[in-house]
Structure 1
């Protein structure tokens, strides 16, 4: 047996016999599994590699749930929550977990409650009902969300069409301010197309941000229509030979108008 001096333990005999115990200062027994002799002569405590190997095994239990006239048997971990059980019942029952109400021992159970904490064991039985109020509230929220999504899509499509018309307005502006007389019908057609976009915008029913964006697009289209009316006046003052007649008041250019 080899004796090794340790600062904290005094002289601690170390044996090479596996599983044998050694005696430290004060008569304490020190097991070989707890200490290790390093090559430098230092005695250190061993890490117990078996600590993490002895994990508690969570048992799987069998729960019977009655929904209407049908029974559904579910195999689930005993430490799972009622919310997890609802998710497992969504498939066989066709019910959204948010619309489910689980009753165990004549008491509705919260989704965050653990099964074992509520006393659920292997073979336990419980009842499943539809939460009508929650279901109606969720349906209304889904309808509201669908309307907002639809309004946003419509607004995006209309905005894209307006952008295309704006480019045409810009092209006509360049020609007219360049002294070229354009066919009046081209101006009238653009005004008519912009008016049709106003009608589409008026048909969008929305709240919040979508409503605000719709209002901004309406003002934007109205200002473009006003600007086209101004271009009509200027265009009428241009002679067919390209010479511009005197205009009493200078008109604003498109790029100087604020459309916001």
Structure 2
């Protein structure tokens, strides 16, 4: 890797928002370490190399400590400090909580929370020691809403949103920037993987992943603390703060209950 170029790390970089974030980094001349738990990460790396930057692809399960260690080892092998970490990896899970498999539940929690916290802790310490660096965590407006038929996922995003705000405050007297991107429903593989294609939210029009990534990329580069992508999502977060939790849960049920989408789609 070119020692003169800055290094960005993107998790969940094989598709969706993560791939779009990696494309933005490549266009800005960052060398990259990208990670995902699927072989498509290799194809993403080949595409990004066409921008003339060096790319290391790591196929590993970031829900496990060993998987995060594998990513950390790949980063260390570059002999470079991480200038920007995009902690974007995440998993969703639809259906009723008691109908879900506990192994699937654990995988969502371990991907969205445990692995993310471990990675941010490891790289964040290095940034604090250098007194330099930026971290963008991908939270969600789902973190503001009790997620009927998405209870575990929304709960993990509530954690990430809160976690990001808290560590930003802890580091406010340093030059380490913590930002949180909070998108709404986005046009990615998320709803297929979460088995939610038959729901209203799974079938509705969604935000463009490239637009969402651009909002998050600009936020962390500008040093913003948090950003919600899209005016409809911004309005929803404002209303969530003044709406009773029971009503929010019922509204979410209407979006996420299996079979709530029309057979012919939107």
Instruction: Provide the TM-score with structure 1 as the length reference.
Output: 0.21
Normalized per residue, which structure has more helix?
A: 2
Of structures 1 and 2, the one with the larger relative CO (CA 8 A, separation 6+) is 2
Largest Rg, 1 or 2? 1
Instruction: Provide the TM-score with structure 2 as the length reference.
Output: 0.20
Normalized per residue, which structure has more strand?
A: 1
